C-alpha cells in the first residue's frame, strides 16, 4: 500500500494520516468547502475538494470519493468513523474498484449493522445475551406473553437502531401496546425498517466494550476493555481503560467472548464489541461496531499498540505480529471528549470561533484534535473539537493529570465540555469507580455544576440531597426488579 485516501475530516483524519506517514505511506485528504483550511488538509500530501459543506454533498459522496481516488492512484481508503465507515455498500464499491477498504468485509459490516442478524450470527458461539427474544415482533399478544416470562421492565429495541434510537422502556404490561406501536413507527421512519425485538431492561448497567483486532489469517485477539458509562443521550463524554471494576477473570471471560463475536462474522481488522455489565457483574452482548472508534486512544495507551497501523497492516494482508499472551495492560488512560457544547445549557451546541486555543502539554498528555486557533467550528458536523487523553501509572494518576490538563487547555470564543470533564474528575462516584450509565442523569445538574464553578459552599449539601433522592429512587427500582425478575437472581 503506497497511497491512502482518508475519507473523513478533523481529528480522525489527522490521526489516520499520522500513522500512514509513520509507515512511509502517502496520503490524500478530502474536504468540503467548510474545511478548506482545516489542518487535516494541510497535513496530507494531496487533497481533494468534495463539494459544499453539508455531508450529503461532500463526505458522504462515496462514488465521487472512489472516482477521485482512482484518478490519484490511491490503493487504500480509510473511512475513519461516522460518515461511510459502516456502509457495507461503500466498502463493496471500494473493493470492486480495485482499492483496498481499510476495514472489515461488507459481509461483517452488514451482519453487525443489524442487531437481529448479529444475535443470529453469534448464536452458536456461546455469547451471553440479555434475556429476551431474537426475532422481530409485531404481535402484541405474543409480546405480552414474553413480557410475563422475562418480567418488567422490558426494553423494546429497533433492529436497525443505533445510539438509542427506536428504544422504549416498558414498565408494565398496560403500556406495552402503545410503546410497541411507537417503537415500530419510530424505527420505520428513522431506519426504513420497523423490525423491533424485546429484551429484559437492565436498569443500572455499565457500558463496557472490548477492542478486537483480527487478521486475514485466522488470528483474532482482544485489546482489553474500555469503560464508556459516562455518557449523555447516548453520546459518550468520558472513557477509560482499563475499567475500574473488572477482575482479571472477568476481563478474560469478556475478552474471549468478544473474540468469539468477531469470529462469528469472520471479522477482519479493528472492531469493538459492546457489552452491558449489570450490578451483579453479569455481562451481556449488545452489538459490534465495525469501525475504529472515537475512544480507541485509551486502548492504544494501555497496550502500546497503534491501532491505525494495525488496521493498515491487516488490510495489507499481513499476519498480526503478536498473540493474545503477548498483550498486557500497562497503566491507566482517560479520554475526555471536548465538544463545542455548553454544559450549563443542556449541552446545546455552542457555535463560534476558537479565539483562543492553547493545548495542554506534558508527559502523559495526548490531544487528538482537528482545529487550530482562529478557526470556526462548522455547524454541519459533529461538534467534537478534540479528545483530551491522559495516561498515568494508575487510575489516580490519570485522573490527576486530566484535571491538570483541563486547567491548562485554554479555549475562548465558545463553550466546551472541558468544565464538565473537571466535574466528572472531581466527583466521588467517578473517583470511587462506582458509577453506571446513569451517572450524568443521577449526579449532574446545572445547579450543582453552577455551585461548583462558583466554588459555592452549599454544594456539598445540595449534592448530598440530590444523591439521596436519586438513591431512594434506585432502591425502589431494584426492589421492583427483584420481585418481578426472580430468574436472574438465581
Q: Would you tell me which residues interact with ligand MV4 (CB under 6 A)?
A: 130, 155, 164, 199-202, 205, 207, 231, 234, 276, 286-287, 437
**Minimum separation from the CB atom of position 278 to ligand MV4 (A):** 9
52 in helix, strand or coil? coil
Pairing status of strand 220-232 against strand 235-241: antiparallel
**Minimum separation from the CB atom of position 287 to ligand MV4 (A):** 6
**Minimum separation from the CB atom of position 240 to ligand MV4 (A):** 14
User: Which residue among 291, 366, 457, 476 is the active-site one?
Assistant: 291
**Minimum separation from the CB atom of position 151 to ligand MV4 (A):** 12
The answer to whether 379 and 395 have CB atoms below 8 angstroms apart is: no
Between 48 and 198, name the residue whose CB sits nearer to ligand MV4.
Answer: 198
Q: Alpha-carbon torsion 48, 49, 53, 59, what sign?
A: negative
What value, to the nearest 5°, has the Cα angle with vertex 462 and ends 459 and 464? 105
Q: How far apart are CA 268 and CA 455, in angstroms?
A: 50
**Minimum separation from the CB atom of position 163 to ligand MV4 (A):** 6
The answer to whether 346 and 370 have CB atoms below 8 angstroms apart is: no
Between 93 and 159, name the residue whose CB sits nearer to ligand MV4.
Answer: 159
Between 231 and 303, name the residue whose CB sits nearer to ligand MV4.
Answer: 231
Which residue's entry shows cell 477473570?
249
334 in helix, strand or coil? strand
Report the helix count and the strand count for the chain, using DSSP H and E. Answer: 18, 20
- In 73-232, alpha helices (H): 88-96, 106-112, 115-122, 140-150, 176-191
C-alpha cell belonging to residue 363: 508527559
Q: How far apart are CA 122 and CA 115, in angstroms?
A: 11
Between 110 and 436, name the residue whose CB sits nearer to ligand MV4.
Answer: 436
**Minimum separation from the CB atom of position 436 to ligand MV4 (A):** 9
Between 28 and 121, name the residue whose CB sits nearer to ligand MV4.
Answer: 121
Q: Alpha-carbon torsion 387, 388, 391, 392, what sign?
A: negative
Who contacts 432 (Cβ-Cβ below 8 Å, separation ≥6)?
Answer: none
**Minimum separation from the CB atom of position 166 to ligand MV4 (A):** 10
Between 155 and 377, name the residue whose CB sits nearer to ligand MV4.
Answer: 155
Please list the residues that pair with 6 across neighbouring strands.
29, 78
The full length of the chain comes to: 490
Who contacts 483 (Cβ-Cβ below 8 Å, separation ≥6)?
Answer: none
**Minimum separation from the CB atom of position 154 to ligand MV4 (A):** 8
Q: Can 206 be counted among the known catalytic residues?
A: no
Between 157 and 296, name the residue whose CB sits nearer to ligand MV4.
Answer: 157
Q: How far apart are CA 17 and CA 7, in angstroms?
A: 11
Burial level of 218, CB count in 10 A (0-12/13-18/19+)?
A: exposed
Between 102 and 212, name the residue whose CB sits nearer to ligand MV4.
Answer: 212
End-to-end CA distance of the chain: 54
- In 192-239, alpha helices (H): none
365 in helix, strand or coil? strand
Active site residues: 291
Amino acid at each position: 500500500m503506497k497511497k491512502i485516501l482518508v475519507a473523513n475530516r478533523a481529528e480522525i483524519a489527522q490521526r489516520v494520516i499520522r500513522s500512514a506517514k509513520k509507515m512511509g505511506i502517502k496520503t490524500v485528504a478530502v474536504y468540503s468547502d467548510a474545511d478548506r483550511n482545516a489542518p487535516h488538509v494541510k497535513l496530507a500530501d494531496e487533497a481533494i475538494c468534495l463539494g459544499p459543506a453539508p455531508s450529503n454533498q461532500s463526505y458522504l459522496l462515496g462514488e465521487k470519493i472512489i472516482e477521485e481516488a482512482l484518478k490519484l492512484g490511491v490503493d487504500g481508503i480509510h473511512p475513519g468513523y461516522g460518515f461511510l465507515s459502516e456502509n457495507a455498500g461503500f466498502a463493496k464499491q471500494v473493493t470492486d474498484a480495485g482499492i483496498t477498504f481499510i476495514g472489515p468485509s461488507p459481509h461483517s459490516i452488514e451482519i453487525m449493522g443489524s442487531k437481529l442478524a448479529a444475535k443470529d450470527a453469534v448464536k452458536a458461539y456461546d455469547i451471553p445475551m440479555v434475556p429476551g427474544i431474537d426475532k422481530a415482533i409485531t404481535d402484541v399478544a405474543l409480546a405480552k406473553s414474553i413480557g410475563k416470562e422475562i418480567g418488567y421492565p422490558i426494553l423494546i429495541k429497533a433492529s436497525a437502531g443505533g445510539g438509542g434510537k427506536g428504544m422504549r422502556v416498558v414498565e408494565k404490561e398496560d403500556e406495552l401496546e402503545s410503546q410497541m406501536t411507537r417503537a415500530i413507527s419510530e424505527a420505520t421512519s428513522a431506519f426504513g425498517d420497523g423490525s423491533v425485538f424485546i429484551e429484559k431492561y437492565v436498569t443500572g448497567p455499565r457500558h463496557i466494550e472490548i477492542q478486537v483486532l483480527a487478521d486475514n489469517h485466522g488470528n483474532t485477539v482482544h485489546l482489553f476493555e474500555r469503560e464508556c458509562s459516562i455518557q449523555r443521550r447516548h453520546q459518550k463524554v468520558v472513557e477509560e481503560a482499563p475499567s475500574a471494576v473488572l477482575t482479571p477473570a472477568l476481563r478474560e471471560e469478556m475478552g474471549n467472548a468478544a473474540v468469539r463475536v468477531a469470529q462469528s462474522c469472520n471479522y477482519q481488522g479493528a472492531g469493538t464489541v459492546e457489552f452491558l455489565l449489570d450490578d451483579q457483574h453479569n455481562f451481556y452482548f449488545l452489538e459490534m461496531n465495525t469501525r475504529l472508534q472515537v475512544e480507541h486512544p485509551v486502548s492504544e495507551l494501555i497496550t502500546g499498540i497503534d491501532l491505525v497501523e494495525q488496521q493498515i497492516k491487516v488490510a495489507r494482508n499481513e499476519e498480526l505480529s503478536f498473540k493474545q499472551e503477548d498483550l498486557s495492560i500497562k497503566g491507566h488512560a482517560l479520554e475526555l471528549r471536548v465538544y463545542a457544547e455548553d454544559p450549563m445549557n443542556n449541552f446545546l451546541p455552542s457555535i463560534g470561533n476558537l479565539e483562543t486555543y492553547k493545548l495542554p502539554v506534558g508527559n502523559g498528555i495526548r490531544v487528538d484534535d482537528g482545529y487550530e486557533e482562529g478557526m470556526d467550528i462548522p455547524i454541519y458536523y459533529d461538534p467534537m473539537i478534540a479528545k483530551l487523553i491522559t495516561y498515568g501509572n494508575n487510575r489516580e494518576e490519570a485522573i490527576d493529570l486530566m484535571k491538570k490538563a483541563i486547567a491548562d487547555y485554554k479555549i475562548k470564543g465558545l463553550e466546551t465540555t472541558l468544565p464538565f470533564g473537571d466535574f466528572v474528575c472531581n466527583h466521588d462516584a467517578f473517583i470511587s469507580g462506582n458509577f453506571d450509565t446513569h451517572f450524568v442523569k443521577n449526579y449532574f445538574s446545572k445547579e450543582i455544576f453552577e455551585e461548583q464553578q462558583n466554588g459555592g459552599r452549599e454544594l456539598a449539601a445540595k449534592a448530598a440531597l440530590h444523591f439521596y433522592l436519586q438513591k431512594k429512587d434506585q432502591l425502589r427500582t431494584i426492589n421492583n426488579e427483584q420481585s418481578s425478575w426472580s430468574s436472574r437472581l438465581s
